[in-house]
Amino acid sequence: GFHSGKDINIVVAGMKGVGKSALTVRYLTRRFIGDYDSEMEAVYTHNTVLDGKSLTVHILDTAWQGDGTEIKEDQILWADAIVLVYSITDRTSFEKLREIADFVLSKRSDETKLVMTLVSNKCDLIHMQKVSEVEVTQFCAEYNCLFFEASASESSASVLNAFNGTCRQVRLTNRKR
Ligand code: GDP
Ligand code: MG
């Protein structure tokens, strides 16, 4: 396949409406585009430089089906990193991530090499915050996740930080890169 040593494959997962597509497109274009076809799954390839080393990132922006079919086993095996996205305004979207994370880990025997990061999106809507810091800290400890706060609508820097942080963690985890 197109998995060369330097490439990093990222699966963006989470409930419908949390901003997976908005985050992905913000990372790729530095722009916020408000609305996407949520039925559509897409893979993007992005060439960039990170920490002085060239990097090719493949991002699978998953489409939420709500029936457990949104991430296929071969996609989980393909991934170097899973970015778990919830919206700070939606408790259910946070709670759903346990199911997704458990499912992902059940398909990976080499789970130590899979990077998982947790991204809380829509941080511009802080006044509508429904998920506490304690819960987030606990989730990250339980699933060994790095945590990033982001707003796809307000801040390119926050989104870059989340994706770059994920890629750095893959490089650290996978010393061949
Ligand atoms: P997806 O189903 O997870 O791919 O979600 P989308 O990217 O389609 O976004 C769902 C809705 O949330 C859209 O109306 C977006 O404009 C909105 N949205 C996405 N990111 C943000 C954000 O950071 N802040 C706010 N306020 N709205 C956002
Ligand atoms: Mg989408």
* pTM (whole model) above 0.90: yes
- pLDDT at position 35 is 74
Give the ipTM.
Answer: 0.99
Give residue 20 CA to ligand 2 midpoint distance, Å: 5
Could you tell me the distance, in angstroms and rounded to a whole number, from the CA of residue 86 to the centre of ligand 1? 10
Beta bridge mates, 148: 119
pLDDT at 177: 57
* Helix, strand or coil, per DSSP, at residue 7: strand
The sign of the CA dihedral 117, 107, 170, 173 is positive
What are the pLDDT digits (tens) for 153-175?
999 999 999 999 999 999 999 76
Chain length of the chain: 177
pLDDT of residue 170: 96
32 touches ligand 1 (CB under 6 Å): no
Q: What is the pLDDT of residue 112?
A: 64
In this structure, what token pair is assigned to residue 33? 């585009």
Identify the burial level of 48 via C-beta atoms within 10 angstroms of its C-beta, where 0-12 means exposed, 13-18 middle and 19 or more buried.
middle
Q: Which residue lies with its CA nearest to atom 10 of ligand 1?
A: 17
What pLDDT digit, counting tens, does each position of 34-45 carry? Answer: 777 777 889 999
Is the shortest distance between the CB of 35 and ligand 1 below 6 Å? yes
